[in-house]
Amino acid sequence: MATYKMQRLDAALLWLCLLGVGISYYSYIVETTKEKDKSYQPFCDISEHVSCTKAFMSKYGKGFGLIPRDSPLYLPNSLYGIIFYTIVASLSLFNSYWNTVLMLIAAVVSNLFSVYLARVLYLLQDFCLVCMSLYVINALVLVLTIRKLREIKLVSSKKRKTK
């Protein structure tokens, strides 16, 4: 049985993942539209140095700049975001220790990529509002996943004590 605290953590994680999917989908739409129509100006392009398309259209916008162009995994980063948030949302529906450990691993990896891509933005001399929003969501997912793991351990230790 889930505690009230666990229910709140689950709800917050689910909300963050839905937000992450929505922002990632927006990123995908912006990138694919810009590829087809070079004159397209999305809302996230505010100036020369505050531009989401500058980040999306760079060599780091697909495959994180790490995957070769001829690979079937050479996809827009936004698709990886949609996959990540969908997996984390799915795992968060179950309050098991191992599901939460998998969430923690995924969250750590996503935050490592966030740091890497933030460094790329710095090198590109760009501030991407969409990207930064996702980095904040990734950090919050990590924090909430750690809290959930602690809560699961606490609940299981209380159950063992009462037996």
Q: What is the model's pLDDT at position 2?
A: 63
Supply the pTM of this predicted model. 0.92
Q: What is the model's pLDDT at position 1?
A: 46
Residues of the chain with pLDDT under 70: 1-2, 163
Q: What is the model's pLDDT at position 157?
A: 79
Contact 22, 82 (CB under 8 A): no
Give the list of residues 6+ apart from residue 17 with CB closer than 8 angstroms, or none.
Answer: 85, 86, 88, 89, 92, 141
Total residues belonging to the chain: 163
Distance between CA atoms of 110 and 161, rounded to whole angstroms?
A: 36
Q: What is the model's pLDDT at position 65?
A: 95
Q: Could you give the domains of the chain?
A: 4-162 (1.20.1440.130)
